[in-house]
Amino acid sequence: MSKTADRVTQFTAEQIKTLSLRLKQRKADRGATPPAIVRVPRTETLPLSFAQQRLWFIDRLSGGGDAAYNVPVAVRLTGALDVAALAAALTEIVRRHEVLRTTFPTVSGAPVQRIHDAHPVPVPVTDLSHLSVVEREQAARELAAEAVMRPFDLSADSLLRASL
């Protein structure tokens, strides 16, 4: 006998009947039309997803001000850069992705999501051109390290920061 046949013989007739019914129901469910996704108004406070609750809890447990869950990205750009175009592109990304416009204040002791209207993303520029190439590289690394370690205030801050 095969391993599968050995396993099947371990079930009672009632268990086999129940499993058979469940499998038929699953096949029927696959063919069913899923319910429509309904957009909820963004004017109300919304509950957090389980993942958001977990991160909010960890943030509160650490006393806030922890940069452990920051996702830093550093990019070296060469050539001419249109800072206004970069800021406009980041602003459009934030406009399209409401999670980047969401804050997590506490209301009556419980966290909620507040999705804000789109807003321009500031891109502050630090001019290091007065430094030598070696000093400029070192200063840029130090500024990047400071930015990475700066925590977000989940109750008030935008969840995206940029700097040049």
Give me the DSSP letters along 103-120: E--EETTEE-BEEPPP-P
Tokens at 1, concatenated: 């006998």
What does the pLDDT look like over 113-145, one tens digit per residue? 999 999 999 999 999 999 999 999 999 999 999
pTM: 0.71
Q: Which helix (H) or strand (E) holds 79?
A: none
Spell out the per-residue pLDDT of the chain, length 164, in tens. Answer: 556 555 656 778 888 888 888 888 887 777 777 778 888 887 777 889 999 999 888 888 888 778 888 899 999 889 999 999 999 999 999 999 999 999 999 988 889 999 999 999 999 999 999 999 999 999 999 999 999 999 999 999 888 999 99
How many of the other CB atoms lie within 10 Å of CB of 104?
A: 21
